[in-house]
Amino acid sequence: MKLGLLFPGQGSQFVGMGKDFYDNSQKAREMFEIASEAIKTDFKKLMFEENDDINKTEFTQPAILLYSAIAYELFKDTPFDFQYALGHSLGEFSALYAAGALELADAIKLVHERGKLMNAAFKDKVGSMMVVLGLDDETVEEVCKNSNLQVWPANYNSDGQIVIAGIREDLEKLEPVLKEKGAKRVMLLNMSVASHCPLLESASEPLKELVNEYVKDEFLPVVSNVTAKKYTTKSEALEVLPVQLTKPVLYKQSIKNYEDEVDMFVEFGGKVLMGINRKITKKKTLPITDMASLEKVINTIQG
């Protein structure tokens, strides 16, 4: 079966993520150890116990990546045809792991540092992101452009669902304007970093150095958030990954570009993209979040 592999981004984290894998798989336990050693952090405590770090971006990102990586490792021996890996925001780095571009320890280090770079960019300002439902892309783009505020389209999730990013105060000012334009819902997210907008410019060059250090020369196809096109080499990764911080995520465009190449999508470590996909494509998306859903997906693929 031809599969598109999907990997969720920040915001999909929760306490208890990966515990069923840990309890039932030696491979998962070994991967927890690798991750813990990579950044000297107890991932069992981070992911299984109530704590503040799980929502701090420098820890959220490696936790989500580890969860997705374990789901993929437990699945990958199932016979399937790897067409491409596609991640949403942070998920692009999980996709790179699945495509063979990163070793696990290096992937954990890379996204840990990415999170710290993003935090540092907002040391002296408060950013956020805001979901807008019920407006077309062009209207939201026009509102942002004409606002004279520091706000930008950040995630093109599906028709009628777009996320904008910027300075928190500016986003709050934009809320009544978007509602006046006909938005069905406008919701400010509980976060202090504005991803995928020019406010992260200072993090791009340091991230490029990390990509150069950790990413392998060649790998299986990964779809870029920035271009909505596939790439397979380190040289291409050096072009798209640093600017991924400052450019919008073209998720729905990516799905539409390549949905005809696959029989089905599988989401590793979440169900967020499955929900979004229902609004974009008629192709089925199945999630792997624990041992039971892993078995269900394997049984579906093997018929």
Structure tokens at 293: 């859903």
CB of 241 closer than 8 Å to CB of 207? yes
* Helix (H/G/I), strand (E/B), else coil: 17: coil
Residue-wise DSSP of 256-290: HHHGGG-SEEEEES-SHHHHHHTTT-SS-EEEE-S
Helix (H) or strand (E) holding 209: helix 201-214
CB atoms within 10 A of CB 135: 22
Q: Going edge to edge, which strands form the sheet with 185-188? A: 151-158, 161-167, 127-133, 185-188
- What are the C-alpha distances in Å from 22 to residues 15, 27, 145, 157, 266? 14, 8, 47, 31, 21
Helix (H) or strand (E) holding 21: helix 19-24
CB atoms within 10 A of CB 195: 25
- The question of whether 196 is a catalytic residue gets the answer yes
Among 196, 204, 224, 254, the one annotated catalytic:
196
- The question of whether 192 is a catalytic residue gets the answer no
CB of 275 closer than 8 Å to CB of 126? no
Among 12, 36, 68, 89, the one annotated catalytic:
89
Q: Which residues are marked as active site?
A: 89, 196
